Amino acid sequence: MVGKTLLHYRIVAKIGAGGQGAVYKASNTKLNRTVVLKILPPELTASGVNLKRFEREARLASSLDHPNICAVYDLVFHDDVHFIVMQHVEGLNVRELVNGRPLELKSALSIAIQVCEALTAAHNRGIIHRDIKANNVMVTEDGQVKILDFGLAKLLDERTENRKDSDRTHLTEVGVPYGTATYAAPEQAQGLQVDARADIFSTGVLLYEMLTGKWPFEGKTVIDVRYAVLHDTPQPLTKARPNPAPSRLQEILDRALAKDPKDRYQKVTELRDDLRQVLHDLSVADDPQFKEQLAPFAPRHLSRPGVLTRSLDSISFRTGVNKRVVAFGAAAALALTLIPLGILFFARHKGTASYVTPALRLHGSNTIGAQLAPALVEAFLRKQGATEVRTAGSANPDEAIVSGILPDKATPTIIEISSHGSSTAFVDLLNDNADVGLSSRKINTNEVKNLATFGDLTSPASEHILGLDGIAVIVNRENPIDSLTKEQVAKLFSGEITNWDQVQSPGGVVKIYARDDKSGTFDSFKALVLANKQLVSSAQRFEDSITLSDAVARDPNGIGFIGLPYIRDSKAIAISEGNTAPLLPNSLTVGTEDYLLSRRLYLYTKSTSQNAWTTKFIEFALSSEGQRIVGESGFVPQTVKAENTTIAEKAPSEYKRLTEGAERLSLNLRFRKGGKDLDNKARLDLDRVVNFITDLKFTGQNILLFGFANDGIDNEENVALSKERAQLVAEQFKRRGLTPIVVTGFGDSILVASSSTEEGKEKNRRVELWLKR
C-alpha cells in the first residue's frame, strides 16, 4: 500500500498491523497535514460482523472529543477499501518509553492519570475501551497522553437494548476473549461479560509496567499468561522496582488489579483521584524545585510576634496539601518550608492557638490580587454572614489572608490570596495548591494542555471574566508627550528608541520600567505590543504594580506599563495603531475593548472541583455586587451603561445618521477566535444588556446593533460578514424576548486596530450596541 493514494490520502509508510487491520502514516494532500489510516484487510471485508465492528470503532471514537483521546476524522469506503482517518500523534508509545526499564515515578503517575481522564470521558459516554495496553498509549514531546484504538470498545448498554439476544448480532460475542492477554482482566480472559472495571484492571497493569519495567503477569504462552492473570499475585513494588515508591502506590495497585471486579475501584475517577494524591504528595515532599519555589514561605513568616501563643512542638496541624496529620517536632523547620502561607494561619480563640484550613485559595495575578481580590473576598465573606472580617498581610506584600467568623462557626473561616503573577495561577491549579486561578491574561495553549485532566479551562464552566482592564502606558507627569503609536511603544521598550527626542519629546535617555516575567500584565504587554521583540535588558523589573508606578512618577525620563488602577501619580498616554485615532484608556474605551491595550481579567476554576466555596465565590464575583467592587477597585466592571460618545469623523454617513441622538452601551460583543460563536464574556453580556433594558422599561425597539469585520477579501465581503455577525447577536436577543430595531453591518469602515495582524483583525470583529431612548 505504501506509495498508493486513496482519494486524497497518499500513503507514506506502514506503522503497524493488528487483528482489526493495518495502520499507515499518510498525507492528506487537500489539507497538507499528516494523518493515520487504519485499513481493514480485504480478507475481512466479506464479514458483515467485522465491517460492523470496524464502523463502530470509528463511530464510537469520533464521538469522544477529549484531549487525551486520539481524534477520528473520517470513515471512508473507496475502491473496495474500508479505512478510518485518524489524528497523527507525534511521540512514543509507553512500550517504547519503558523499554524494559522503570519510568521516573512522577512521569509514570502523570501518564496513568491522563489515561484515567481519557477513560472517564469514554465511560461517561457508555463506552469501554477493552484494550488498554502500552502500545495503545502514546505520549507526545510535551507529555500529553493520547489513547489510541477504540476497536474493541463496547457500549455498556448494548445488552440492555430493547430486543432479544436471539434477534441481535453480537459484535463482541460472549466467550471470545478479545484484548491483549497480559492486560486483560480476569473476566475478560475468561470471555465473560465485562464493564468499565476491566479498563481499570488494564490501567493497573499499565501502571505496574511503567513503575517496574515489566509486566505483572508473564508466561511463555498466551495460556500461561492467562493463568497468571487468573491466579498469580504480582511481585510487590518493594522487590520489583529498584527505587523506592510510596507504600500508598502498592495499595492502589492491589485494588486496581483485584481478581474480582467487586474488589476493584468501581469507577476510574476513584483510581485517578488516588493517583493524583500520590503525585501531589511527591511534589510537596520530594521536588527540590517545589521547595525552592516555596522558600518565601519559610518559618520566618511565623517568627512575627503574636502569631503563635504556644511552642511549636506542642501543636499538631493538618496540612492543606496532603490531608494527613503532622506533628511538629525536630523536623518542624523542614516541614514548614513546604507549607503555603494560608496553611499556617492560626486563630486565637479563648487564649489558645488553633489551625484553620483555608476554605478557598486564590492564587495568581498581582494585578487582581493586590487590591481587588481582598476587597472582593471581604465583601463575599460578609455576604455569607461573616463578622469580624479582616485582611491580614504577611512579610511578603503579595500574600494575604482574609478571615471572618461565620454564624455557625467558632473559629474563623479563612481565604488565602497569593499574588505572584498570572503564570503561578496555572502552576498552582495543576499542583492542587489553588482553587481559583487569578489571571490578567487568557490561559495559553500549553497551560490548557497541562490542565486538561481537570477539564477544558477555556469552557464557560471554567473560564470566567471578572472585569476589564487597560494596560496603561505611563510616563512622568512632566513629560509633555500625550500619545504614541503602538510601534513607537514597542521600539521604546525593546531598546530601538533610546532617547526621548526620537519621539518628539525633549531629550533625555529613556528609562524602562516593567513588570516581572511571572506577571500576566507583562505577558499581555508582550502579546499586545512587543510581539516578536524582546524587552530591553536594561529594564528595571518589578513584581509589584504600585512600586513600578511610583518609580515612573519619580523619574522624568521613565516610561512603564501598568493596569488602570495603578496609574496613581504618573500620566497615561493615548495609543494608536495604523490609521486608527489615538485613544486613552478609560471606562468606555476599555469596556468596549476598543482601546488597543485593553484586556480581560480572568478567574479560572477546574470543572472537576468539589469545593462548594469555589462556585459561591465565582457567582458573587460576577454578580452586580461583585462588579460594583470591581469598579470601586479602579477596574472596568461589566455593568452596562449608556454613554454619549464622539462619533469618528471618518465614520460612514449612515452610521452617523443612525447614531444621532443615540447613546452607546459600554460594551461590545465579540466572538470566539476565528469563529461565529459568541465568546464566554458575550454570553453573559447578553443577559446583562437584557436586564439593563428591562430595568429602564425599554424594549427591543430601543436597541441598535452594528456589526464590524475586516476578515473578508474585499469590502463587499466584509460588509456581509459584519451584517451576519450582527444578525447572530439579534437572534440571541430575540430568544430573550427583545427584537432590535436596527441590525446592520459596516464592514471595515471603523477600525479600532490595525488590520495587518490577526490580533488586530480579531479586535475589529465586533458588534456595537446602541440605545435610542
Across the strands, what pairs with 83? Answer: 39, 76
Q: What is the mean pLDDT of residues 720-740?
A: 93
User: What is the C-alpha separation between 393 and 401, in angstroms, rounded?
Assistant: 6
As a whole number of angstroms, the distance between CA 318 and CA 295 comes to: 20
- pLDDT for res 300: 30
Q: Is the pLDDT of residue 297 over 70?
A: no
pLDDT band at residue 205 under the 50/70/90 scheme: very high
Average pLDDT over residues 157-176: 40
* Cα–Cα distance, 490 to 482 (Å, whole number): 16
Mean pLDDT for the stretch of residues 457-471: 93
- Residue 50: its pLDDT value, please? 65
- Give per-residue pLDDT as tens, 640-664: 999 888 888 889 999 999 999 999 9
pLDDT band (50, 70, 90) for residue 203? very high
Q: Considering only 222-231, 419-428, 654-663, which range has the smallest mean pLDDT?
A: 222-231
How confident is the model at residue 18, as a pLDDT? 61
Write the pLDDT tens digit of every residue in 506-547.
Answer: 879 999 999 988 787 898 898 889 988 999 999 999 988 889
pLDDT band of residue 317 (cuts 50, 70, 90) is: very low
Residue 334 pLDDT: 30
338 and 328 Cβ atoms separated by less than 8 Å: no
Say what the pLDDT of residue 442 is.
92
In single-letter form, the type of residue at position 610 comes to Q
239, three cell numbers: 522487590
Residue 530 DSSP one-character state: I
- pLDDT band at residue 451, thresholds of 50, 70 and 90? very high
Instruction: For residue 165, give the C-alpha cell.
Output: 439476544
Closest CA to 380 of 402, 357, 410: 402
Residue 100 has pLDDT above 90, yes or no: no
Rg over CA atoms, the chain: 30
Residue 161, C-beta contacts closer than 8 angstroms, at least 6 positions apart: 168
Q: Is the pLDDT of residue 742 over 90?
A: yes
Q: Are 570 and 549 in contact (CB under 8 A)?
A: yes
| All domains in the chain, ordered by first residue | 5-87 (3.30.200.20), 92-286 (1.10.510.10), 298-432 (no CATH), 433-636 (3.40.190.10), 640-771 (3.30.1330.60)
Query: Is the separation of the CB atoms in 467 and 622 below 8 Å?
Result: no
Per-residue three-class SS string for 391-430? EEECCCCCEEEEEEECCCCCCCEEEEEECCCHHHHHHHHH
**What Å distances lie between residue 5 and 8, 71, 80, 299, 734, CA to CA?**
7, 22, 14, 67, 50
pLDDT at 436: 97
Q: Which pLDDT belongs to residue 331?
A: 33
Residue 726 has pLDDT above 70, yes or no: yes
Residues in CB range of 26: below 8 A, 6 or more apart: 6, 9, 10, 11, 12, 34, 35, 36, 37
Name residue, grid cell 493520547. Answer: 146
Do residues 437 and 428 touch, judged by C-beta distance below 8 A?
yes
Question: Which is more confidently placed, 655 or 392?
Answer: 655
pLDDT at 344: 37
The yes-or-no verdict on residue 326 having pLDDT over 60 is: no
Give tens-digit pLDDT for 551-569.
999 999 999 999 888 888 8
Residue 377 scores a pLDDT above 90: yes
User: What is the average pLDDT score of the chain?
Assistant: 82
Most confident of 74-78, 290-294, 376-380: 376-380
Average pLDDT over residues 578-604: 90
Give mean pLDDT, residues 452-475: 93
**Residue 767: how many CA atoms within 13 Å on its side-chain side?**
32
Is the Cβ–Cβ distance between 201 and 256 less than 8 Å? yes
In angstroms, the Cα distances linking 227 to 178, 196, 217, 223 are 16, 22, 9, 6
Per-residue pLDDT, averaged over 357-375, amounts to 92
Q: Say yes or no to pLDDT of 103 above 70.
A: yes
Cell of 510: 529613556
**Buried-state track 68-103, b at ≥16 Cβ within 10 A, e below 16:** bbbbbbebbeeeebbbbbbbbbeeebbeebbeeebb
Q: Is the pLDDT of residue 333 over 60?
A: no
Q: For 688-715, how does the pLDDT look when each residue is reduced to its tens digit (9 = 90+)?
A: 999 999 888 888 889 999 999 988 788 8
DSSP 106-162: HHHHHHHHHHHHHHHHHHHTTEE-S---GGGEEE-TTS-EEE---TT-EETTGGGSS
Cell reading at 337? 518550608
Residue 770, pLDDT > 90, answer yes
Are the CB atoms for 171 and 20 separated by under 8 Å?
A: no
| E-only strand ranges, 530-688 | 540-542, 558-563, 571-572, 574-576, 598-604, 642-643, 663-669
Separation CA 223–CA 188 (nearest Å): 14
